[in-house]
Each structure stands twice: as C-alpha cells, then as structure tokens.
Amino acid sequence: MKLKLPPGSFRAYLFDCDGTIADSMPLHYIAWKKALGEWSCEFDEELFYAWGGMPIVEIISTLNMKHGLDMPVETVAHRKESLYLELLPELKAVPEVLEHIEDQHGRIPFAVVSGSTRESVIASLSTLELLGKFDVLVCAGEYSKSKPDPEAFLVAADKLGVPPETCLVFEDTDLGIQAATAAGMASVKIPPPGQREV
C-alpha cells in the first residue's frame, strides 16, 4: 500500500511516533494489558486505539475515573513503560511511512510529535535506527494540552522554524488528525495494522 499525500509542497514533516513511524501499537497494548492486569483493570482494545495519542498518565487517570479505581498513576505508568521497553526487540517500522522518511530526509526538516514519553520515543526510534533523522522531538510532558489540541504540533513547527500551514502531519489516530487540522496543517492518516496490507 502506498500512502496518498495531500497536494502541495511542504517545508516540514511532523510525525506521530507510535502507530505512525513505529508499528508499536500492538506492543504497547500488550504492555498496557499486563500493567493494568496487575490492578485488575480492564482496557478494551478498541478503546486503546481510540485513545491513541493520549499521554500515558492521562490514560491511567481516565481509567481510574471510568472504573472507580485508585491506581497509583506514576507507578502504573512506570511499570507500563518498562514492560514496553522489554518488547522493543520485536519492534518494526511502518513501511509506508519509512518510505517517505527516506525519500525526504535531508531535504526538509522532520519532527516527532508524540503523546508518549521522551524515553519511550527515543527507545523506539533508536531500535528502528531512525533517531538521527529527526531534528526535533516533542513528547508528553513538553506541552500542556494533549491532542486533539493543536499545541504540540504548533510547538514542533515553532522549533523547526517553519509556518504551521507549510507542515504535513503523519498520524494514525483521529485525535491526532483533529490536532493537525486545528493547527492549520495538512495531514495524512496511517491505517491501523489490520488495514495496511494490500
């Protein structure tokens, strides 16, 4: 499958990380299930994908409210991240996105805009040997409002020194696409794992 990019010439590419550059969502879900299972907390797979792009502490806090639980947010977040890091040897890149990274690298600047922690993003990109291709990383905790708010994308454009309207966003979630649109940026949606094979 080839990704169909919107028309126009772009001065920067902004990429979400999980599910966009890194085919990591299935691995993140395994880590979530295990970490939350230790607290007898359910996390439906459909909901997990719907909440893609939401920072980890926000997910745990929301699940606490939803299920009337009192999981210690930082403890569970740390446990989930360490479980994910254990799964990293299985990580692969999303080929359709990798193609665009390789095609435009060195021609225009790239940023990663993620709801994951900086540690998690660096670990994923390092595993894929892609970390050096990105000029800027904007990760959870480095902006105050998460997607669908445009703040994280606007921060990335500012750090790259390009106007928001000249950026193209690669995203796999509806929240991310909404954030890109709110930032005045064009976007391309990456289908979930099951829908990519042609």
The full 3-state SS of 130-147, as one line of letters, equals CHHHCCEEECCCCCCCCC
pTM: 0.91
Number of domain units in the chain: 2
Which residues make Cβ contacts (< 8 Å) with residue 34, sequence separation at least 6? 83
For residues 80 and 191, give the distance between their C-alpha atoms in angstroms, rounded to a whole number: 25
Residue that is last in its domain, among 47, 64, 89? 89
Per-residue pLDDT averaged across 23-44, rounded? Answer: 96
- Is 36 in the same domain as 19? no
Residues 121-157: tens digit of each pLDDT? 999 999 999 999 999 999 999 999 999 999 999 999 9
Residue 6 is assigned to a structural domain of this protein: no
In a domain, 1, yes or no: no
Summarised one tens digit per residue, pLDDT across range 48-81 is 988 988 899 999 999 999 999 999 999 999 999 9
Query: How far out from the chain centre does Cα 163 lie?
Result: 22
In 3D, which of 101, 173, 104, 109 has the Cα closest to residue 135? 109
Overall average pLDDT of the 79-87 stretch: 96
Whether 116 and 184 share a structural domain: yes
Residue 170: beta bridge partners? Answer: 15, 188
Q: What is the pLDDT of residue 53?
A: 85
Query: Do 18 and 68 share a domain, yes or no?
Result: no
Tell me, yes or no, whether 80 and 178 share the same domain: no
Domain end among 74, 89, 104 = 89
Task: Check if the beta carbon of residue 80 is closer than 8 Å to that of residue 32.
Answer: yes
Domain that holds residue 66: 25-89
Which residues are catalytic, by number? 16
